Structure 1
């Protein structure tokens, strides 16, 4: 495009437009600086710039110099940025001052806008095996892993995307993924390789589902990616029938909702670890269906195998990925590379994801969660996504997520507009569709689901569920007798909450046999009766338990002699 249509728009950002010719010139300047620093194939250049045409030009300039790029988000802590630059063994850093000076260390710093170095650059020829980019992903050990992606890997993704979603010259695509998230490469490179127009969303817009929907409509975007936490409410929101959007792509977290019928776009669920160059499976999500949406079929050039514990193919098992998009490995970590990128005896080179899947009858793939993050509550194996799906189907709920806290299920809920549900309301609705052990014991109200810089749900930002628990009821029944008052005090102390009434079900509040034993022991001490755990299982509420305690007190008094009663009265 820079050659045959240099004036065609490449990038739209706020009120500015950058043509393909201008993008070429900016990238050329960056490549000149890197050439002067002896960048070459195998070199890695860190790019730490805000979402902008300069940022994309810098990435392109790295390639023209023969180097790979490492995308970094300037919003990350400086200490983390400096550590990642060092761990990736970068040969240069492209960033603005003063941040660039704080994180560069011994690495040479290039700032956008620096004068051209006055050297002629001929873009370096690249082979499919050369590195295109290095990107960090979270590690189970707590140490980030640097994934090496080749130009061949990226080219396979671009070819599939362009064909699957009919991306061509002037196709309008959004760019809103986190700058250090591999989905950004999925937004940028298929669009620019096709001669399309890339529209950059600002940070305020990209973090709010309603604002993002309105922006996509106003900008006449045709193809857009949104992380799951944003895509879910957008898919369930009304859109104008004449919206230009024809493809809404999502991924990053487990999808639990289906789109409203009649949406103007196809809603596409995608799955793929960073190690398989963004996407490995993809599928249209139908508006009808009660099951959690699948993750679709393997994309062109990608193979999916489900392996059992012995490494044999099965209908259910660990998801293993083969094909053109499987990355080179982990930079600087040959041991981990050998453990996860394996040469299977019959299936060839595979990446072992650690995710679990199952083949469905229609040939699509169901995602079953992480093999190393199975949740057990009261002896039952739980899939939190099933609870989230049930919550998100409720009229009162816009979005939700479910976690465990001290062995208890906790639901974080964003109420739908105009709705003010109580925990009791939500619990009652869930008990109609879920077994008791899958109903959260606590509910916490949120204005929005917290997202990290990659657009994924940020569980570390969730408020404490004990201190911020949603009210159980509005005007729940208060104790009416001294017995109820004392028992309610005991129960509240044991389950660490103060917002319940005497008619609340102890076990639906998160109580279980171990906590129940504490309640029984304290009640025995308080009332001097032989209360048992059976009484609590049978009665379940403070109200009923108080009736049992009072009955046991009367039975005890009836069995006592007059002398025993006089002795007790004298104490």
Structure 2
């Protein structure tokens, strides 16, 4: 049968179903286990498998009593208050006014269709090296994984302070027996990771401190957390997830005997987010599973993560003071494509003519041709050249000399292009500044005398 024809209806119970049918062509029975995270998560699935194994081995009588979900609900409600949750997330997210939308993916209400899935193993030497570095720094391996994913998100979104969803176990504060209970435990909450100019070592420590602090808030509402940022409520705060989880792969003779005659054909999990990275902690090694829209490429995301982990390990091993924003993410093949393949051109350009000189030649050859378009405004080569000349003369009259630096603080648009050309024509170099940056001193005030 086609598993795609079977979907859970979230409007009615149960959230756990086993659908089976006879495959006469291959003389076998096939089944599909459908479940929603409201009833079963990664930990609970292992519990169910262990109970099934006990029944198959005739040991059902040795199973312990089930743990009521109501115990967890009571423990969660008696824990951290909503006001404390809000204070924590406002401190972390209050300064975030732009969403982190990797690759421009903004649809966070998807149904899991059109998603590509790829799983790769992190090589053994790198896995052991990452664990060694984590022990040396007194942090968890999860902290290194979160920082590496933050670096990937920075590359994919063009930001330094990135926000992504991290999946919390939900059982840390769940009370006795929570590790054996079934129900809705896991929770997705936003975490902000800074991958700017701070050192790699400091970034690891900061990420670990933030993750540790979040454990006290693992029962907070995602809606509450997102409201604590400065991003408009109509815009998603993030569109990518990181799910770091511990997985057991121990296979014993008893286990093989219990499941004799049965085999796993395939498994599939989906979220409503367009980009998910599952990291399975296998005890010694790690496994990466990327789920992303097919046009982005799941293998590509796995490659990014693997390179980021390798770069992070190398930096901690040899240069822990280097800026975390310098960590490599692109694999060699994609780097060559970007720098060499796509830049290859049979065209020959003059090496002894300055940029503004080449522009002036274009202005003479085609003064009425459109040179710049910004929204509904345009400038021809002749108009742009004239305005840049006026600005250059203005700078020279203010005392600008060759090779001096001129700060330019302007929003993207036509005026920015005029400013850059004018500064170059005056023989100076430009230093771009963010218009929102608090300037205590301006060496020169640049005015377009137009």
TM-score under structure 2 length normalisation: 0.23
**Higher RCO (CA-CA < 8 Å; seq separation 6+):** 2
Which of the two has greater strand per residue? 1
TM-score under structure 1 length normalisation: 0.20
